[in-house]
Structure 1
Amino acid sequence: MILRLILILAALFLYLPVHGQEADLEDLVLGCSIDRAMGDAIDSGLINGGVVFIGDSSGELFLHSYGHLSPASDAPEIEQDTVFDLASLTKVLATAPSVMKLVEEGRVGLHDPLTIWFPEFVGTGKDTIQVFHLLTHTSGLVDFSFSGCKTMQGVVEKTAFLDVPAKPGDKFKYADINFILLGELVRRVSGFELDRYALENFYVPLGMSDTRFSPSEELRKRCASTRIADNSLLYGTVQDPNARALGGVAGHAGLFATAADLSRFCRMLLGGGEFAGKRVMTDRTVRQMSSPSFTHGNAVIRGLGWDILSPYSSPRCNRFSCASFGHTGYSGCSIWIDPDLNLFVGILVSRNDYRRIGDFNHLRGTISTLAANLFSKPTQRKCRENLAQDIR
């Protein structure tokens, strides 16, 4: 009992500097609740550790690290600057913004047939697939094993001869191949590989110095572990097998980053494409990406790359507004952003037990709910359900 009291007081003490003198008892309890949720996830073996970061357009509101880099008994502790495998966050932090940058510049059209950039698809039943369909996961394409594909060209050629089970634009089917092709689209249009294009157009201007594909040896020393199929651990090598097969740079996975860098990106989005005096996208593009572009009843609402409401929206708590958007990654990472609440919340973890999907989704939802309860300051802005049509 005494030990538990000491731990609670220690958590309160650690929390005070972040929230300042304005913190009241309720805020402190909620802050400790985040600590408790992460601690419970570690104690149950769900994760080895992680970082929770919460902020708004003005800066950091909450940044705490928990646990260790791996399940090893002597593993170093996770720090606030630990580097994590972002998995499918690559789609919205590298690929989608790069494609939309090319759209801004008039070099790509959202409704361009994919065959303009992929002549390999001509006459293969894919003539009606558009760039838009890839961004919204409505192309009809489905994932497949890259076995035997040693290059991106091999992946493209194998895709060309696969059937399309659904008519493009009719059905939402989340598939990595959509963003793998978009990553290749960036290369074919810009002349630069996706990693270089995203680095020069986003990460360098935004000061995201720890955000990279294929991290350097120096960054690898700070990487949290990921677990692969044979139960071995990776540090700084992408977990996704198809991304590894492509050399670590792909449109669906491969990016690594820290919480501080992701906070900068989130603040850029809350700032309408601008952060610290550097504009990397127009406000119109940010709104277009994060507004509904495809809907299927009340079950699925997707932006251009971003998730708004779908079976993958576990970090979207009921306190967030209908203007909120985000994404998740298989490695355990997620971010959710609410322009109307001027709030973002992110979780980066070293995931240990990949079988407990329900428990992990519950953790994401719990952290988001606590963050919204703790920091949200709702505005009177109108819900943007129809904004996508307004700004096309």
Structure 2
Amino acid sequence: MRSELGAKIESEVQEALQADKMPGCVVAIARQGKVVYLQAFGNRRIEPSVEPMKVDTVFDMASLTKPIVTATSIMQLVEAGKVDLDAPVVQYLPEFRGEGKETITVRQLMIHVSGLTPDNALRDYDHGWSEAYAKICNLSLLSEPGKQFRYSDVGFLLLGEIVKRASAQPLDEYARQHIFQPLGMNETGFNPSAALQDRAVTTTQVEDVWLQGIVHDPRARRCGGVAGHAGLFSTAEDLLVYAQAMLDARSEVGALLQPHTLATMTKAYDAAGNVRGLGWDKRSAYSRNRGKTMSDAAYGHGGFTGTSLWIDPQLDLVVLFLSNRVHPNGKGSVNDLAGTIGTLAADACLADPAP
């Protein structure tokens, strides 16, 4: 990696802090299995009191829940022969039928071409997941399955339910047993402990209470903090462990996925004109947080709270950007910053070493 990378990242981050794009962030970069950059900037809260950001801060990962938890769980269940990507969803969720939904496949949910709405009404979740699930099963489609890319939280809520039915374990328990514990990710999961909550970023104020270690996403919050689309909390160090396990799975059968399963998950799929992996982004309308000079093999995802993870197997590179840009007023904006940092990191790999 080029030696000036750190100075360039710091300059970009300080500019964003001064422009109130976020209260603070943690940036981590790994190359060829080694952490080459890990730095905290700014604050993890500014209301109701100021607390500095630290590298061990716990973050609300928001939609990074989708690939790290839900999609990874689905792919493990595919390996185990318990889920077929091309089977109709109704095979696993018999209640999910009517209005043309019977033809939607698991794979179509994974690449967001199911035809489902992005989100159904928040009031549908007021009485918890069971009633919300019944309402989802009664939804009409907005387009024919496979015909249109429409990023959908609803689709990943259903995938979380498929994990539960196929594994006979709730999503959070399955992920803890089959993803986090085998990798030693002891500070990752849903509904973090009081000790982890104390180290968590503060996000939004809800009914005069500042959320800290309680999921920001209102639907996940109404589902008890566990959902297929949001709810995960983690730290930079733990996420680097996960990313390295994904890179290691290219050539060895590790704790996460077999090589052929990883290849299936992370290759390019045509999502009605967007390029997606299974649960991952590659090049789509949501790729502003992607490094422009990353290779075509790169895959990643972002989260509404201001989180982003990109893994480039061709460059053997991991770029992790974690912030709480929704604090204190929901007006922060970090996708461009995350993308710029990804570009700087990829360029540092591609450039000839300085003499």
Query: What interval of TM-score do these two structures reach, taking the shorter chain for normalisation?
Result: over 0.9
Superimposed CA distance per residue, residues 137-165 of structure 1 (whole angstroms, 9 cap, x where no aligned partner): 11100011231432322122111222101
Residue pair 1:86, 1:256 contacting (<8 A) in 2 also: yes
What stretches of structure 1 move > 3 A for 4+ residues in a row? 228-232, 352-357, 375-378
1-side partners of 2:340 and 2:310: how far apart?
13
Superimposed CA distance per residue, residues 287-337 of structure 1 (whole angstroms, 9 cap, x where no aligned partner): 11111122434xx10110000001111122221011111000000000111
The answer to whether structure 1 residue 186 and structure 2 residue 160 are counterparts is: no
The answer to whether structure 1 residue 326 and structure 2 residue 305 are counterparts is: no
Q: Are the structure 2 counterparts of residues 33 and 269 from structure 1 closer, same or farther at C-alpha, using a change threshold of 3 Å?
A: same
Superimposed CA distance per residue, residues 152-194 of structure 1 (whole angstroms, 9 cap, x where no aligned partner): 2212211122210111111110010010011111111111110
Residue pair 1:343, 1:376 contacting (<8 A) in 2 also: no
2-side partners of 1:165 and 1:148: how far apart?
18
The answer to whether structure 1 residue 108 and structure 2 residue 86 are counterparts is: no
Residue pair 1:228, 1:239 contacting (<8 A) in 2 also: no
| 1:363 shift after superposition | 0.8
- Whichever residue aligns with residue 49 of structure 1, its letter is G
* Contiguous gaps of at least 5 residues in structure 2: none
1-side partners of 2:202 and 2:194: how far apart?
15
Residue pair 1:81, 1:222 contacting (<8 A) in 2 also: yes
Superimposed CA distance per residue, residues 182-222 of structure 1 (whole angstroms, 9 cap, x where no aligned partner): 11111111111101101111111111111010000010111
- Whichever residue aligns with residue 58 of structure 1, its letter is G
2-side partners of 1:163 and 1:327: how far apart?
27
The answer to whether structure 1 residue 163 and structure 2 residue 105 are counterparts is: no
Higher RCO (C-alpha under 8 Å, 6+ residues apart): 2
Q: 90-99 or 73-82, which moves further after superposition?
A: 73-82
The answer to whether structure 1 residue 288 and structure 2 residue 264 are counterparts is: yes
Residue pair 1:146, 1:155 contacting (<8 A) in 2 also: no
Superimposed CA distance per residue, residues 349-379 of structure 1 (whole angstroms, 9 cap, x where no aligned partner): 121364454xx2221121111111224479x
Trace 1:239-254 onto structure 2 (pairs within 5 A). Answer: 239-254=216-231
The answer to whether structure 1 residue 130 and structure 2 residue 105 are counterparts is: yes
The answer to whether structure 1 residue 55 and structure 2 residue 65 are counterparts is: no
DSSP-derived class of the 1:204 partner:
helix
* Contiguous gaps of at least 5 residues in structure 1: 1-18, 20-26, 379-392
* Structure 1 residue aligned with 2:19: 44
Residue pair 2:64, 2:302 contacting (<8 A) in 1 also: yes
The answer to whether structure 1 residue 215 and structure 2 residue 206 are counterparts is: no
Trace 1:267-282 onto structure 2 (pairs within 5 A). Answer: 267-272=244-249, 278-282=254-258
- Whichever residue aligns with residue 336 of structure 2, its letter is H
* Structure 2 residue aligned with 1:9: none
Residue pair 1:57, 1:271 contacting (<8 A) in 2 also: no
DSSP-derived class of the 1:52 partner:
strand
Q: CA RMSD in A?
A: 2.0
Larger radius of gyration: 1
Q: 155-164 or 209-218, which moves further after superposition?
A: 155-164
Q: Are the structure 2 counterparts of residues 130 and 33 from structure 1 closer, same or farther at C-alpha, using a change threshold of 3 Å?
A: same
- TM-score after normalising by structure 2: 0.93
Q: Are the structure 2 counterparts of residues 107 and 38 from structure 1 closer, same or farther at C-alpha, using a change threshold of 3 Å?
A: same
- Whichever residue aligns with residue 179 of structure 1, its letter is F
Q: 83-92 or 113-122, which moves further after superposition?
A: 113-122
Residue pair 1:57, 1:267 contacting (<8 A) in 2 also: no
1-side partners of 2:177 and 2:351: how far apart?
34
Residue pair 1:46, 1:356 contacting (<8 A) in 2 also: yes
Residue pair 1:293, 1:301 contacting (<8 A) in 2 also: yes
DSSP-derived class of the 2:5 partner:
helix
Trace 1:1-392 onto structure 2 (pairs within 5 A). Answer: 27-72=2-47, 74-142=49-117, 143-149=119-125, 150-228=127-205, 233-272=210-249, 278-297=254-273, 300-351=274-325, 352=327, 354-355=330-331, 357=333, 360-376=334-350
Residue pair 1:129, 1:139 contacting (<8 A) in 2 also: yes
- Whichever residue aligns with residue 371 of structure 1, its letter is A
**Number of equivalent positions:** 348
